[in-house]
Amino acid sequence: MDLKLKDVAELLNVSKTTIRRWLADGKIPAYRINNQYRFNRNEIEDWVMRHRVESAKIQTPPKVPSRREAPCSEKFPTPSGGIKQFSLYRAIHKGGVLHDVADSSKDELIRSAMKAKAQELNLDADVLADLLLDRERLMPTALSHGVGVPHTRDFLLDGQQDVVIVAFPPHPIDYGALDNEPVHTLFFLFACNDKRHLHLLAKIAHLCSQEHTQELLRSRPDKNALLDHIREWEGQFSLACGSHLED
């Protein structure tokens, strides 16, 4: 399912006017049907991954190559916690935290994590690992600062509960990140639909841009410590951002 302009504005916590400006400036991928903009879920996902938050300072998104040159003064959006308050907390609470995954390679790390968790998702571990690795071949899912967000192109979960499994390999591994940093934390993301997937992906990217989060993740916290941190962050983030958008 492709997204409307209003959907993308809500997911990225910016106004519809901002999205229109980015469209005019060629900063975000889209196409038109009957004079209305539509956004492909896979393209927006890749856009979030490429133009992820690099630090606590939000950066301006570069131009999408196929569009015309134009100046842009808008900053890269941050996802609104108010859209689905404590959604990341709930997803990790359900998915859990792994500390004992094998890590000699990206392939082994992903297969080891899925072997430990696939049964809880009522999915086949080998099939799930193959789907995750297929996605990695399209584009590595590493964010900056040693964090990866492995996910599939398909929605595999039955029911209404999204799942995020956090895995801490014993040693950081090469993951093909654009900043060349080895990955020390993986957020395996399994959402139930397009909007929730993009919402959680953007929220994870923003969370992991925070220096205090980076420090915590490097310490390989247990589930309770990680959930306490995320609950506090999502609560403050919701109050700071809210779900109100300009028109």
Average pLDDT over residues 152-171: 86
Q: State the Cα–Cα distance between residues 15 and 18, nearest whole angstrom.
A: 5
pLDDT above 70 coverage of the chain, percent: 80
Burial of 244 (0-12, 13-18, 19+ CB in 10 A): exposed
Residue 90 DSSP label: H
CATH architecture of 87-241: 3-Layer(aba) Sandwich (3.40)
Enumerate the domain spans of the chain: 87-241
- Local confidence band at 55 (pLDDT 50, 70, 90 cut-offs): very low
Average pLDDT over residues 44-64: 53
Q: Name which residue leads in pLDDT, 34 or 229.
A: 229
217 and 147 Cβ atoms separated by less than 8 Å = yes
Q: Which of 67-76, 128-137, 170-179 has the lowest mean pLDDT?
A: 67-76
The confidence score (pLDDT) of residue 241 equals 44
Q: State the Cα–Cα distance between residues 6 and 14, nearest whole angstrom.
A: 10
pLDDT tens-digit profile of 214-226? 999 999 999 999 9
- Local confidence band at 103 (pLDDT 50, 70, 90 cut-offs): confident
- Local confidence band at 58 (pLDDT 50, 70, 90 cut-offs): very low
Query: What is each CA distance from 9 to 70, 116, 172, 247, in whole angstroms?
Result: 20, 37, 35, 10
Dihedral angle at the C-alpha atoms of 192, 197, 201, 203, nearest 10 degrees? Answer: -80
What does the block give as tokens for 99? 């500390």
Q: Are strands 163-167 and 97-98 parallel, antiparallel or unpaired?
A: parallel
**CB count in 10 Å sphere of residue 110:** 25
Q: State the Cα–Cα distance between residues 85 and 240, nearest whole angstrom.
A: 12
Q: What is the pTM of this model?
A: 0.76
pLDDT tens-digit profile of 2-37? 889 988 887 776 788 989 999 998 889 999 888 889
146 and 167 Cβ atoms separated by less than 8 Å = no
Q: State the Cα–Cα distance between residues 147 and 183, nearest whole angstrom.
A: 5
pLDDT tens-digit profile of 168-216? 999 999 988 878 899 999 999 998 888 888 889 988 988 988 899 999 9
Q: State the Cα–Cα distance between residues 168 and 184, nearest whole angstrom.
A: 6
What is the average pLDDT score of the chain? 80
pLDDT at 122 over 80: yes
Q: Which residues contact 210 (CB under 8 A, 6 or more apart)?
A: 56, 233
Helix (H) or strand (E) holding 227, with range, is helix 223-241
